[in-house]
Amino acid sequence: MPPPSSDHPLSVSVHAAGLTYAGVPLFAGLDFTLPGGQWTCLLGPSGVGKTSLLKLIAGLLEPWAESRVMGGDGRPLTARAGYMAQQDLLMPWLTVLDNVLIGVRLRGEDARAAAPRARELLAQVGLADRAGDRPASLSGGQRQRVALARTLMEDRPVVLMDEPFSALDAITRHRLQALAARLLRGRTVLLVTHDPLEALRLGHRVHVMAGRPATLDQPLEPAGAPPRDVRAPDLLALQAELIQRLAGAEEMAA
Amino acid sequence: MRVLRPLVIFAGLLLLWQAVAAAFDLPRFILPQPWEVAQAGWANAGLLAHHARFTVAEILMGLALGTTLGCLTALTMAYFRPARRWLLPVLVTSQAIPVFALAPMLVLWLGFGMASKVAMAMLIIYFPVTAAFFDGLRRTEPGWLDLAHSMGASRRATLIRIRIPAALPALTSGLRVATAVAPIGAVVGEWVGASAGLGYLMLHANARTQQPLMFAALLTLAVIAVALYFAMDAALRRALPWQAETDPTTDRA
């Protein structure tokens, strides 16, 4: 089942974004574009404002009045961006299937009609046989796969992900990156991460965010289509460069 | 061991009681011996059962009413911000008044029947239930609220599908406290003025120097309170199977 929204990838433009958090201006007059149908990865030192920028795009934080977040079609992004956080945010009182269906229920839509699609998405993330279980019985990787299925259930053209794999062990993370790259193909993705290799593996573009108020550098654009082979020499060379940029960003913060 | 331990504790307390009564050679009207109390209980089983029925009914009705009212107050405060500003100070002030001091007034207004005791039990559990549930409703995981917002959920849907279920563990701890204190409310009400109930029977027996009967009534009350607590605990565990194990006796810390 190809996601209907992938036929017309929606780009996102952030214009003159400004945000004050706890009295500190995190960024001001920031311009930022997410190319349609591509993965944009955002790296940077802790506390630089990566998550705040993502939440601003998701409409979860109130930015300065002049800030604009628009879809490529010139309309606001409202209700067209899905959100996936570092914690899986599964609800312990719901079964795996009901967790995938939570958005449908929250909007008061017909959950029974949506259940077959939810089961299919669970099958796609390899958890078809766990639909009736509670999240507490799943491993960290399995829980994050349910969260991925829940995100896919929302079927939004734009997906905003805030370090969704960072709490997982290396091998589980590697598998989940490949799965997410496959299942989210064709959607416009913003991935906030602190792992340079993850960014280079998955991103069409990789930005480093630095300074206060924070700015974005010219993005790195690794060759080839993600998910890339992490053993490729040019990828490792890029990783070295990226780590250098990040070290520079840390110094700016210090 | 789970079943055995309460029995061992009970036997130990009984032994201690017997030892104290024997060692100090206390007269019957100060501290009757366990076998005298058992005898009085056996001889007056029908009488005890009759009065216990009233007390149990008062406790259960007080619990039902207090829980309902407490939950409604907590929900109102969580959902309507202006209500929070007006209700919270009232709630805190109401706790400054010792509920026991209200007992004579309640009997005066509601009479010697069950109504004044139900009101007493209700008042005493209203605050713990309200405070626990409201606290739970306020402390919803912020990530869940972000998620709901990004999914286009209304405030009402978020309350019903996320905030209320997420607050249920907090509510259950309020309910456990309520179950433990509700009998106090009922008995205090009965002491102030009543024509039935175990509290009434205790006063009545004491006045007529039937101390063994008074102790039997007290024992009956204790058994009822403990049984009620365990029944509530079991019911709450069944109702929220997803809740983490919270048995304090199995804590590792």
Residue A216's pLDDT band (boundaries 50, 70, 90)? confident
Q: Per residue in A226-252, pLDDT tens?
A: 889 888 888 888 999 999 999 888 887
Question: Taking each helix axis from N to C terminus, what angle separates A140-154 and A170-183, rounded to the nearest 10 degrees?
Answer: 10
Cβ atoms of B197 and B116 closer than 8 Å: no
B189 within some domain: yes
B215 within some domain: yes
Q: Between residues 140 and 169 of chain B, which touch chain A (CB distance below 8 Å)? A: 141, 143-144, 146-154, 157-158, 161-162, 165-166, 168
* Domain span holding position B165: 31-237
A91, A101, A161: best to mutate for the B interface, most B CBs within 10 A? A91
Across the interface, do B242 and A136 touch by the CB < 8 Å criterion?
yes
What mean pLDDT comes out for the span B97-120? 89
Residue A5's pLDDT band (boundaries 50, 70, 90)? very low
Q: Which residue of A has its CA nearest to B163?
A: A91
Q: Per residue in B127-184, pLDDT tens?
A: 999 999 999 999 999 999 999 999 999 999 999 999 999 999 999 999 999 999 999 9
Phi-psi domain of A18 (left: phi exceeds 0; alpha: psi -120 through 50; beta: other)? beta
Cβ atoms of A41 and A220 closer than 8 Å: no
Of A87, A89, A92, Cβ closest to residue B242:
A92
Going by C-alpha positions, the residue among A162, A148, A221, A226 that lies closest to residue A192 is: A162
CA of A150 vs chain B CAs: smallest distance (Å): 10
pLDDT of res. A131: 95
Cβ atoms of A94 and A133 closer than 8 Å: no
Residue B73's pLDDT band (boundaries 50, 70, 90)? very high
| Pairing of β A188-192 and β A39-43 | parallel
Kindly state the percentage of chain B with pLDDT values over 70.
96
What mean pLDDT comes out for the span A132-136? 94
Handedness of CA A153, A159, A162, A166 (dihedral sign): positive
Q: Per residue in B188-243, pLDDT tens?
A: 999 988 889 999 999 999 899 889 999 999 999 999 999 999 999 999 998 888 87
Residue B244's pLDDT band (boundaries 50, 70, 90)? low
Q: Which two tokens stand for residue B198?
A: 């175990």
Residue A39's pLDDT band (boundaries 50, 70, 90)? very high
Task: Provide ipTM, 2 decimals.
Answer: 0.90
**Reading across the β-sheet that carries A12-21, which strands appear in turn?**
A24-34, A12-21, A68-71
Cβ atoms of B107 and B192 closer than 8 Å: yes
Query: What is B41-70 written as a DSSP string?
Result: HHHTHHHHHHHHHHHHHHHHHHHHHHHHHH
Helix (H, G, I), strand (E, B) or coil at A159: strand
B233 within some domain: yes
Instruction: Specify the CATH number for the domain of residue B230.
Output: 1.10.3720.10
Our count of domains for chain B comes to 1
pLDDT of res. B242: 82
Going by C-alpha positions, the residue among A47, A65, A67, A24 that lies closest to residue A192 is: A47
Q: Which two tokens stand for residue A104?
A: 């449908």
Please report residues of A whose CB lies closer than 8 A to that of B165.
91, 93
Q: Which domains does chain A have, with CATH numbers?
A: 4-80+157-253 (3.40.50.300), 89-155 (no CATH)
CA of B131 vs chain A CAs: smallest distance (Å): 22
**How far apart (Å, rounded) are the C-alpha atoms in residues A65 and A68?**
8
Q: Which residues contact A146 (CB under 8 A, 6 or more apart)?
A: A88, A90, A96, A99, A100, A122, A125, A127, A135, A138
What mean pLDDT comes out for the span A96-106? 97
Determine what percent of chain A falls in helix, strand and coil, rounding each to the nearest 5: 40, 20, 40
B10 within some domain: no
What mean pLDDT comes out for the span A48-60? 92
What mean pLDDT comes out for the span A123-135? 94
pLDDT of res. A230: 83
Residue A126's pLDDT band (boundaries 50, 70, 90)? very high
Q: With a cut of 90, say whether residue A65 has pLDDT above it.
A: no
Q: With a cut of 50, say whether residue A6 has pLDDT above it.
A: no
Kindly state the percentage of chain A with pLDDT values over 70.
96
- Determine the residue type at B84: R
Q: Per residue in B81-93, pLDDT tens?
A: 898 888 888 888 8
pLDDT of res. A188: 95
B4 within some domain: no
